[in-house]
Amino acid sequence: MVLTASAVPAILVLGLLVRLRPVVAGREVRFQRFLLAGPLVIAASALIAAGLDLEPDLGPDLVPPGTGSLVFTLGAGLAGALVYHGVILWMQARTGTVASTENLITAGAGLILMAIGNLVTGRILDTPSGLGFWQLQGNLLVFGTTVIAFGSAVWITPLSGLLRDRRMWLSLLALTGFLVPAAAGLLMAGQQSPALRLVWLLAATILTLAPLAPVSTEPGPAVPLSQSSIFGALLVIFAGIVTLAVQVVLHNGADRPVLVLVLAGVLLAGHRMIGVVGQLTQLGQTRREALTDELTGVANRRSLLAAVETVVTERRPAALMIIDLDRFKEVNDKYGHIAGDAVLRHVSAAFGRELPAHALLARLGGDEFAVLVEDLSLVTAVGLARRLVSAMGPLEDEGRVLEVGASIGVAVLDGGTRAGSDLLRRADVAMYQAKTSGTGVHAYDRAFDAAAQQRRALTEDLQEALLERDSGQIVVFFQPQVDVHTGLVAGAEALVRWKHPRLGLLTPDRFLQLVEDNGLMGTLTLRVMELVAIHSAQWRAAGHDLRVSLNLSATCLTDPRLLPTIDEVLLGGGIQPQDLLLEVTETSLMTNPDEALATMRAITARGVGLSIDDYGTGYSSLSYMNVLPASELKIDRSFTARLGHDPRTAAIVAGTAELAHRLGMRLVAEGTEDEDALRRVRELGCDISQGYLHSRPLPPENFRQWLADHNSAQKISAATELSDSTGLSDSTELNDSTELSASSSG
């Protein structure tokens, strides 16, 4: 009868295990297998225990009394461990975590529970066969694993979003069923009666049926396992120490089983805690490195952004400074990056000595720093910024004196600051104003900010205009250059314009600085050259062979893209090398004269002409004139305007003309506004005249018409002079000559 009571439920459980199929796919299949393995082990151990207890043919020497109970107890303990692991896998499936199951802490907790059990029982069962001791330890193990599995399920249920999952509630009911016979086994001196085994099997049956319940699909939150691991390890260690202390006090010494169990449990939990602490230490180190600038050791951009966002969100009064180093690029270019790194470390150390202890100093990248200081007014912050500028002394490095300056923008948190990005932008605007004005330190100015925002919007429009080649926004106007002796058009200067869709036609003074500041000069130069080539080809097709000049920025001479750009335009066939003239200023040679001179020589080697623009207004040097491969000089309009009333200016122009001609160059006079100016530049030796007397800069279609009209007029004038010089007066002959001249002009 006992066999039937024990075996039938076991057979039912085995039948369910055979017929059961996973009701869900994916990660949850793994935890179902472990949950089902627990009932299977209980059923198998129940059958084996029933056979050992009721077999009449085996004597007590072969099968000591209580062997069946011990087998079932060990099976129940293993089942509890399997169910615990299944619960942990269930949590991982629900939350998507892949963390450790903390088996060492769990094992340590189980051993401490066994030690407490030994302490509570007060004595060790002593039977002739020796099974009493091991039976008690087995029951304590079963009770410990069951408590741990039940506690883990209770803890995981809310954290993993399983409160509405019927499978978990059935599992909790089954684990409660495990707890009852586990506790009763301790009270019955280690003997698992058939009734208790039946309770085990009924609970196992419920656990087997749990996966068949409807599946909840609500996702659960992630579980902070690292923090709970330390807490769990500390709890196990504390419980072990308390258990050992109570044992010593109550029994005047520690029993060996209790001592062994406590020491083993504490060692397991301590080992795991050391591992977790090491992981957290490594994580902390990684986080510190992620928030620290590697070169200077101060905070980095990520750290500053987080701090700024915090003070803005919590509305704490604070001042933010953005610091940009002046002349740092010169140090890098002249002495190399190692020297530049030394300067950055020197500057950050100087700032750190001057700042209050609660200030946050951060390197944003490159040569840009930031300082965030709480509880600081605008006036006090500006004063602190000035002290930072003063604190930047020179650095002596390997016998060199490296010195840089700083431009600092200051902004404070006010009612208009809605996000951290607002405060950062305001400080950045103030820094830009400090740099452009040369004042060193500048506080945020709303009016300047509005202008800066317009500038940013214009920059975005400019980038779009340059990227869209077919937008038609970048155009070229042409101003004619006239031979002062013949009156014929010798060439034209190409002047870039921007047809802004909202602001209309913009002259270079409105946008060229934006082009320079945003590194777009190479793109603009290519676009202008392409347009010049297109219009030059059209003029040639109409019978006009003109030399076209265009200005090069100082940065273009050191830009490695310039020569490939010229080659690309020349290979296009729209313009011949001898028809292209590139104008550079004297000051463009100052930054890097050797590289600039090499670029000029490479330009002229391609057959392209070179003109020195605004001659006399920059750092004029006869040594440069001796080596520059230029074919043309252009005197600035300021000289032309003073020719009528300043003899010294006239003498300078005459001397320049003599110098240019002796060096094989022609001289162009800009700013020729009237006939008197034209007469004077002709008398002083200039070759080419350019100015409003001839024409203002014209769009390509207007310039082509002007060119045709001007050449026709010149030829008619020449024919008239010819007829006057030969004494012709017959109107018919004069008309014939005029028609011939007009026909020749195309």
Amino acid identity of residue 47, one-letter, is L
pLDDT of 494: 96
Same domain, 684 and 730: no
Q: Check whether 228 has a pLDDT greater than 60.
A: no
pLDDT of 617: 73
Band the pLDDT of 167: cuts 50, 70, 90.
Answer: confident
The answer to whether residue 499 is domain-embedded is yes
Q: Check whether 661 has a pLDDT greater than 80.
A: yes
Indicate the SS3 state at residue 733. helix
The CATH number of whichever domain residue 415 belongs to comes to: 3.30.70.270
Q: Check whether 291 has a pLDDT greater than 80.
A: no
Question: What is the tally of structural domains in the chain?
Answer: 4
> How confident is the model over 431-435, as a mean pLDDT?
89
The answer to whether residue 732 is domain-embedded is yes
Same domain, 628 and 556: yes
Contact 304, 364 (CB under 8 A): yes
Choose between 238 and 461: higher pLDDT. Answer: 461
Tokens of 290: 């992620």
The answer to whether residue 287 is domain-embedded is no
> How confident is the model over 508-528, as a mean pLDDT?
91
The answer to whether residue 279 is domain-embedded is no
Nearest 10 degrees: Cα torsion 558, 559, 563, 564: 160
Same domain, 497 and 360: no
Q: Check whether 533 has a pLDDT greater than 80.
A: yes
Mean pLDDT of the chain: 78
Same domain, 397 and 510: no
Q: Check whether 739 has a pLDDT greater than 50.
A: no
The CATH number of whichever domain residue 499 belongs to comes to: 3.20.20.450
Band the pLDDT of 379: cuts 50, 70, 90.
Answer: very high
Tokens of 563: 């020569």
Same domain, 582 and 605: yes
The answer to whether residue 338 is domain-embedded is yes
The answer to whether residue 566 is domain-embedded is yes
Q: Check whether 225 has a pLDDT greater than 60.
A: no
> How confident is the model over 490-499, as a mean pLDDT?
95
Of 163, 188, 221, the one marking the end of a domain is: 221
Of 444, 460, 476, the one marking the end of a domain is: 444
Same domain, 364 and 481: no
Choose between 10 and 465: higher pLDDT. Answer: 465
H/E run at residue 475:
strand 474-483
Choose between 593 and 743: higher pLDDT. Answer: 593
Same domain, 478 and 430: no
| pTM of the shown model | 0.52
Same domain, 681 and 554: yes
Band the pLDDT of 126: cuts 50, 70, 90.
Answer: very low
pLDDT of 744: 31
Same domain, 491 and 430: no
Within a 10 A sphere around the Cβ of 531, how many other Cβ atoms? Answer: 18
For residue 395, what are the domain limits?
A: 299-444
CA contacts within 13 A on the Cβ side of 149 = 34
Same domain, 500 and 618: yes
The answer to whether residue 157 is domain-embedded is yes
688-690 and 666-670 as β-strands: parallel, antiparallel, unpaired?
parallel
pLDDT of 641: 92
> How confident is the model over 475-490, as a mean pLDDT?
94
Of 221, 236, 260, the one marking the end of a domain is: 221
In angstroms, rounded to a whole number, what is the distance separating the alpha carbons of residues 584 and 579?
Answer: 17
- Range in 1-15, 71-85, 382-396, 628-642 with the lowest mean pLDDT: 1-15
Same domain, 725 and 610: no
What is the dihedral sign for C-alpha 310, 314, 318, 319?
positive
Same domain, 509 and 626: yes
Q: Check whether 101 has a pLDDT greater than 50.
A: no
The contacts found for 11-20 with CB under 8 angstroms, 24 or more apart, are 11/43, 12/205, 13/39, 13/40, 13/42, 13/43, 13/201, 13/204, 13/205, 13/208, 14/40, 14/43, 16/205, 16/208, 16/209, 17/208, 20/208, 20/211, 20/212
Band the pLDDT of 224: cuts 50, 70, 90.
Answer: very low
The answer to whether residue 461 is domain-embedded is no
Angle at 497 between CA 677 and CA 583, to 5 degrees: 55
Model confidence over 173-195: pLDDT tens digits? Answer: 888 877 777 777 666 655 556 77
Band the pLDDT of 65: cuts 50, 70, 90.
Answer: low
